[in-house]
Structure 1
């Protein structure tokens, strides 16, 4: 009987020892897995895409007073949680994708109407589009600062505060650089499915506007600023109206410039476009605009565009300040469609 008792006791000891070893091994395996997830960014607080190296949408820009600013690739160990944004187009994209963590925006310039929620006290000001508040930005302690051309002169100073990523568009390759900025936002913030769904809206919109553009033989894109006009060619800031939307330019003989080539009313009459697009820069910069009174003068009234009611006044803040965003680029197409249908 005693032999049976001791045999059972020994078996129980061995069983308990085996269970203890199994539990310890399980704990060690869980710890190793957690450490691996933390390293690879696949845990609950990480993302498999990180570490990530992000390239600027444009390699360099030329300053207004000469000189070139070269933008660098930036490596992020993890997804940024505190975001400062200067460029309204990129802010538009982040907003459309539902990205959280925006702490600072350029509130000291004219926010586009569809981004007015960022004027609330919930978001701090990083300054104006051309005048960053460097000390205020430093106090925000952002994980990333997104900029475009208007802030290029402050690139080195902003880099001392946080990693800086250039997300602006290129005048010579506007549409592709716009799409690059969307891809950048989607990859950095794990919103690729959302971006793909939103971009699908462009397929039908572009198809419709190209069909509409085919109804006109000539067009001209201009910008109004306090009574003066400038014209834009195909390889210019607003050249995508020709290149992407499909409107045919009335002339290729226009000097490329960020603010267009000086263009008199007499020149418009001479070229006589069937469609005349006019972007209201005065309204975009907060001035009192007299665009219709100035545009519809005795000279312009002789053009086919005026006679056929094909002068298209385009929303200044949308076209001049907030382009390059998922919502704003679609809104531009819809505005043209609404005006010319």
Structure 2
């Protein structure tokens, strides 16, 4: 028995010595803190609490958008959108947000445009561009309204009481800026920029394909007030310019205060001439005026007509679309007609 217990005793002794050594080291260190050369402790005087960890950022419930009427807090992710101009309808569709549309004004025919496809055909109509139906809009409970200062500046305050409302400044000549602002309000600013860049690139390619610099394209439209010739600052005119497609000298509207369009009489149809003539008519009520002009002797003398280079185009695309999708359709028409 004694011989067996000796190894155990030795092990215990060594363990006690080791513990004593550790204890002595700690004591030496403790003694150093009282020495004149000791370091002063720096750091928190109490154990840290939960505040040491960061807090996750909460998704913003709104964003501030600067626009033609000031600044407006809009939803971070709009779900119920009402549009009060045709360009806004085009932009919403171009950005793939058509399923979030709950209301839109009607242009011309009183129906939503065919060129945007069937998705928008069932969108409820909320009045006209000049007279949006406020009660109908309110009943739809929108969380974002897109409109234009140019169209209905007097309706802004009433619309703003219904839902956050963003107005662009003008129409036609500012259509690209409008796409960007509307895209920003819809939380799709980067996508809107990309769409415009892609459109510009395509326009340049189309212009090269159809020999744009020699095309000499005329833009004519029949409306209630008479006959309009569309210039370089119009929507369609800008699409032609992006494609480097030339225009007749008169239709440059040089020196005019408004270079979007000018009006002519039936006796001035020579100003509608070009190597290729595109004709649009606003609404069925103006078809009679169109037929009168197209049946006149002066129209038949135009070089574009004599060369059988006069084409009818969709008014809802070339004139009232005023957006990325409509611009793409114009390029389609140019490819088809100018390449023939």
Q: What is residue 175 of structure 2 aligned with on the other side? A: 178
Q: What is residue 89 of structure 2 aligned with on the other side? A: 91
Change (3 A) 1:201 1:296: farther
- Alpha-carbon RMSD across the aligned residues, in angstroms, is 3.5
Among residues 195, 217, 232, which one is paired with 2:230 in the alignment?
232
Contact persistence 1:224–1:280 (CA under 8 A): yes
Q: What is residue 321 of structure 1 aligned with on the other side? A: 320
Change (3 A) 1:200 1:242: closer
| CA offset digits 1:34-85 (Å, max 9, x no partner) | 4xx22xx2xxxx5xxx6422123xx4xxxxxxxxxxx222233633332111
Where do residues 75-224 of structure 1 align in structure 2 (5 Å cutoff)?
A: 75-76=73-74, 78-99=76-97, 100-107=99-106, 109-115=110-116, 116-120=118-122, 123-148=123-148, 149-167=150-168, 169-171=170-172, 174=173, 177-192=174-189, 194-195=191-192, 198-211=195-208, 212=210, 213-216=212-215, 218-224=216-222
Figure out how many residues of one structure are paired with residues of the other and give that number: 283
Q: How far 1:112 sits from its partner (Å)? A: 0.8
**Higher alpha-carbon deviation: 155-164 or 248-257:** 248-257
Structure 1 residues without counterparts, runs of 5 or longer: 1-24, 60-70
Contact persistence 1:222–1:230 (CA under 8 A): yes
| CA offset digits 1:8-57 (Å, max 9, x no partner) | xxxxxxxxxxxxxxxxx77x889x734xx22xx2xxxx5xxx6422123x
Distance 1:128 1:271 in 2: 30
Match of 1:73, SS state, is strand
| CA offset digits 1:184-231 (Å, max 9, x no partner) | 344344435644554454244211343332123x44322113694122
- TM-score, structure 1 length as denominator? 0.69
Change (3 A) 1:124 1:190: same
Where do residues 35-50 of structure 1 align in structure 2 (5 Å cutoff)?
A: 37-38=57-58, 41=59, 46=60
Larger Rg: 2
Match of 1:299, SS state, is helix
**Higher alpha-carbon deviation: 221-230 or 139-148:** 221-230
Distance 1:204 1:237 in 2: 17
| CA offset digits 1:139-180 (Å, max 9, x no partner) | 222222111233334223212222211136544xx2xx3333
Distance 2:239 2:199 in 1: 14
Change (3 A) 1:310 1:73: farther
Contact persistence 1:89–1:328 (CA under 8 A): no
Q: How far 1:137 sits from its partner (Å)? A: 1.6
Distance 1:52 1:196 in 2: 19
